[in-house]
Amino acid sequence: MCGRYTLKTDAKQIQAELGLDELPSLAPRYNIAPTQAAPIVTAPGKLTLAQWGLIPHWAPDATIAGRLINARADSLEEKPAFREAFKRRRCLVVADGFYEWQHHGKVSQPFFIHQASDRPFTLAGLYELWHAPNGLEVTSFTIVTTAADPFMSKLHDRMPVFVAPEQRARWLAATEDVAALKPLLAPGSPEPLAAYEVERHVNSVAFDDARCLEPAKQVQLSLL
Q: Residues, the chain, total?
A: 224
Annotation says 100 is catalytic: yes
Domain count, the chain: 1
Task: Pinpoint the alpha helices (H) of 8-117.
Answer: 11-18, 80-88
pLDDT, tens only, 75-129: 999 999 999 999 999 999 999 999 999 887 777 899 999 999 999 999 999 999 9
Domain range enclosing 125: 5-213
Asked, for residue 172, whether it belongs to a domain, the answer is: yes
Q: The domain that contains 56 carries what CATH number?
A: 3.90.1680.10
Task: For residue 54, report the phi and psi dihedrals to the nearest 5 degrees.
Answer: -65, 135
Concerning whether 212 is annotated as a catalytic residue, the answer is no
pLDDT, position 133:
87
Element counts in the chain: helices (H) and strands (E) = 3, 12
Residue 88 lies in a domain: yes
Residue 137: exposure state from Cβ atoms within 10 A (0-12, 13-18, ≥19):
exposed
User: Tell me, what's the pLDDT at 108?
Assistant: 84
Query: What pTM was estimated for this model as a whole?
Result: 0.95
- Nearest-CA neighbor of 168 among 10, 41, 11, 36? 41
The catalytically annotated residue of 17, 22, 91, 100 is 100
Residues 21, 36: contact at Cβ < 8 Å? no
